[in-house]
Structure formats: C-alpha cells, structure tokens
Amino acid sequence: MARSVLIRNTTSGITREGYVGFSWTYLFFGFLVPLFRGEIAIAAFHAILTFLTGGLWQILYCFFYNRHYMTRMLSHEGYVLADTPERNQMAAWQLNITQL
C-alpha cells in the first residue's frame, strides 16, 4: 500500500504529493503512469521491457516504481520532503535517505 507524502520544489515552491510503497496504479496501468507524469523516455523504456517480458516487468516493477519516482524527484528535480516530521521520517526510511 502506498503512503502519500508532500514534496516541495526548492526553486519554484510548487508542492506536490508523492507516494512511497507499492504502486497499484503501476500494476494496473504500467508504462502509462510515467507517460502521464511527463517522463516520456522512462515510459518508452518501461513499455519496451513490458512487451519483451510479456508483462512480467509490469508485475514486478510495481513494487519499486514509487520509490524510483520519488528518488528521481528528490535527487534530480530539486524537490525536498515537506510533510509532517513523522511522514518525512517514514518516507526517508523507505527511500533510504540519510539526510532530511
């Protein structure tokens, strides 16, 4: 089950809701999830892997998708955890982040 945590962009101030944990959305919709989130190259890569593995990629990757997406947002897109201290600590633990 995915848990939500607020993240904030340090340059623009935009606040978004991110998720950590199992991704039901990715299980049901697969490579369409990164496509709708604007990650076209990642969506294409996931589509190729899904077709090459006969759907096995989609079944396995739903356990990791939210973690990888949040890691990309926090490390490459300039977002920081911006929720309550308890939720930030839970998200940091699940994402293996040592500094908040």
Question: DSSP assignment of 11-44, as one string?
Answer: TT--EEEEEES--HHHHHHTTHHHHHTT-HHHHH
Could you report the per-residue pLDDT of 69-90, keeping only the tens digit for each?
Answer: 999 999 999 999 999 999 999 9
pTM of the predicted model, to two decimals?
0.85
Quick: pLDDT tens for 2-56.
899 999 999 999 999 999 999 999 999 999 999 999 999 999 999 999 999 999 9
Is residue 78 packed enough to be buried (19+ CB in 10 Å), middle (13-18) or exposed (0-12)?
Answer: middle
Distance CA(93)–CA(85), nearest Å, equals 12
Q: Is residue 99 predicted with pLDDT exceeding 80?
A: no
